[in-house]
């Protein structure tokens, strides 16, 4: 057993999640750091999913009647346990997903933050009082728990995205069934153990949080179950196009967070020192494996050469290696398929007339790992490969003359998640944020597209799916609305002046 797998095993035992090597081995957990096996698990069957949904539904029937502030106590316990185990969980994220240490810890902090938000929200699940045309009547709306919420998460945020959904769903009165990525099962097992302990401490019904492990069969069983009114799925656009019609066929709801092809416009007035820092983190953080990672830089012709030179200098000093080393800024891609896709995209960009400025090749940083050198490619136009999301640190540079041209390039992709502009011109900034500017769900000024806070609603438009998670009023997706009219008079007037009898 490698040192990495031993460390993962010890972490799981400390959080009360058991031994990851007790399964039949049909589902292997591997670390992208060195390719070592860190767990051999038994995947669930479709029958197991049915049982998990049934247990969650029974728990929901009790949980929905618990006052929301009391439900918030479970999420408070969850947040406290996450604080207690932050270092261990952060290390496990690094081991299993390949994130550098600060990003692994940051992901756990994001879980803590959403718990804090959800606890406060548990006392603010408010409806409206609405003016009525009928005298002696009152009209209002209420929000009620929805039911069992399925959460299907991706490898790149193996725990945070689950927490965005689970923390809100739980205070809303729902039960949660979680299917994590088959590439990151151990972090899910650890978080599930902690969530179960939080439920026990808060006196929540047994079964209010459920975990199912496996690949496509498990996900399909969860998506097709009519007892699941909401499926929240994070992943590729291809996956979303399969999930959405299956859920719609049974008239369920989908909350989709899909691909991004995020761009930054760099205007003539941009502060280039700030711009370079913003671009490098957004493009290279998490080895380019965020849905909000920066894929395209659209830079004004007047400063394109200077910007490319600065970016190249920054890229060529980036330390690549094990994410467990404090000095590392670029860890591994999740697997061999991701590395192959990266190299293939670079080659296609070159074939399309692009110039590879730096990077684009495999790197033997750690034996057995999947490492690449982040690439910058200047493109003469926005070709098909540029319009296609490559989940890796591959940054395309395009040039523009007018802001209208830049916005057209920016919006000229199928995805619509996150976006940014670097400018000191208020007119350019406000135009970018206006209805004729960015068509994305997130639009930033003088920061990159990556690194959203939990206070704002997170999600995108077009082929990104249209869902919203985390802050603002995203909680409404996890509840059902009821409009109520109360007649406290002795008369029975009808709306719209209708007379009957």
> In whole angstroms, what is the distance from residue 261 CA to residue 461 CA?
12
Cβ atoms of residues 65 and 72 within 8 Å? no
> In whole angstroms, what is the distance from residue 25 CA to residue 6 CA?
17
Judging by beta carbons within 10 Å of its beta carbon (0-12, 13-18, 19+), is residue 116 exposed, middle or buried? middle
Q: Are strands 209-211 and 175-179 parallel, antiparallel or unpaired?
A: parallel
Residue 268 is encoded by which pair of tokens? 């003539």
Q: Are strands 230-234 and 148-152 parallel, antiparallel or unpaired?
A: parallel
257 is catalytic: yes
DSSP character at residue 45: P
Of 77, 110, 182, 257, the active-site residue reads 257
Residue 257 is encoded by which pair of tokens? 């967070």
Helix (H) or strand (E) holding 483: strand 479-487
> In whole angstroms, what is the distance from residue 354 CA to residue 348 CA?
9
Residue 398 is encoded by which pair of tokens? 């395009």
Helix (H) or strand (E) holding 237: helix 237-249
Cβ atoms of residues 111 and 105 within 8 Å? no
CA distances from 132 to 162, 274, 500 (A): 40, 53, 19
> In whole angstroms, what is the distance from residue 272 CA to residue 256 CA?
35
Residues 6+ apart with CB under 8 A from 59: 175, 204, 205, 206, 207, 208
> In whole angstroms, what is the distance from residue 256 CA to residue 259 CA?
10
Instruction: List, by residue number, the catalytic residues.
Output: 257
């Amino acid at each position: 057993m490698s040192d990495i797998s031993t460390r993962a095993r010890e972490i799981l035992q400390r959080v009360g999640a058991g031994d990851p090597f007790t399964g039949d081995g049909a589902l292997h957990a591997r670390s992208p750091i060195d390719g070592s096996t860190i767990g051999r698990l038994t995947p669930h069957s479709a029958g197991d999913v049915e049982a998990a949904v049934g247990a969650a539904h029974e728990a929901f029937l009790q949980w929905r009647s618990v006052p929301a502030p009391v439900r918030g106590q479970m999420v408070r316990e969850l947040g406290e346990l996450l604080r207690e185990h932050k270092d261990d969980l952060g290390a496990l994220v690094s081991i299993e997903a390949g994130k550098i240490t600060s990003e692994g810890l940051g992901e756990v902090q994001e879980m803590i933050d959403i718990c804090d938000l959800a606890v406060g929200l548990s006392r603010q699940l408010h409806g409206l009082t609405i003016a009525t045309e009928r005298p002696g009547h009152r009209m209002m709306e209420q929000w009620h728990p929805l039911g069992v919420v399925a959460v299907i998460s991706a490898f790149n945020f193996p725990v945070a995205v689950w927490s965005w959904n689970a923390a809100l769903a739980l205070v809303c009165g729902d039960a949660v069934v979680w299917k994590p990525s088959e590439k990151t099962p151990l972090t899910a097992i650890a978080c599930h153990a902690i969530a179960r302990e939080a439920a026990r401490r808060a006196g929540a019904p047994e079964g209010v949080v459920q975990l199912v492990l496996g690949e496509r069969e498990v996900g399909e069983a969860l998506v097709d179950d009519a007892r699941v009114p909401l499926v929240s799925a994070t992943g590729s656009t291809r996956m979303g196009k399969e999930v959405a019609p299956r859920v719609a066929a049974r008239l369920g709801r989908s909350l989709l967070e899909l691909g991004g092809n995020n761009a930054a416009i760099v205007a003539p007035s941009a502060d280039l020192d700030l711009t370079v820092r913003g671009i490098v983190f957004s493009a290279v953080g998490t080895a380019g494996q965020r849905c909000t990672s920066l894929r395209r830089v659209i830079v004004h012709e007047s400063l394109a050469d200077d910007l490319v030179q600065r970016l190249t200098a920054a890229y060529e000093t980036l330390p690549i290696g094990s994410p467990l080393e404090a000095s590392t800024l670029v860890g591994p891609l999740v697997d061999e398929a991701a590395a192959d896709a990266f190299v293939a995209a670079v080659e296609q960009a070159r074939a399309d007339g692009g110039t590879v400025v730096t990077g684009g090749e495999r790197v033997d940083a750690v034996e057995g790992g999947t490492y690449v050198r982040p690439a910058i490619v200047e493109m003469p136009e926005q070709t098909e490969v540029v319009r296609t999301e490559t989940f890796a640190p591959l940054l395309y540079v395009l040039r523009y003359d007018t802001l209208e041209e830049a916005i057209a390039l920016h919006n000229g992709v199928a995805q619509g998640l996150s976006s940014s502009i670097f400018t000191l011109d208020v007119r350019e900034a406000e135009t970018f944020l206006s209805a004729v500017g960015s068509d994305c769900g997130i639009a930033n000024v003088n920061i990159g597209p990556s690194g959203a806070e939990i206070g704002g609603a997170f999600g995108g438009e077009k082929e990104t799916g249209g869902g919203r998670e985390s802050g603002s009023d995203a909680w409404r997706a996890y509840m059902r609305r009821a409009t109520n009219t109360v007649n406290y008079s002795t008369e029975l007037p009808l709306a719209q002046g209708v007379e009957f009898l």
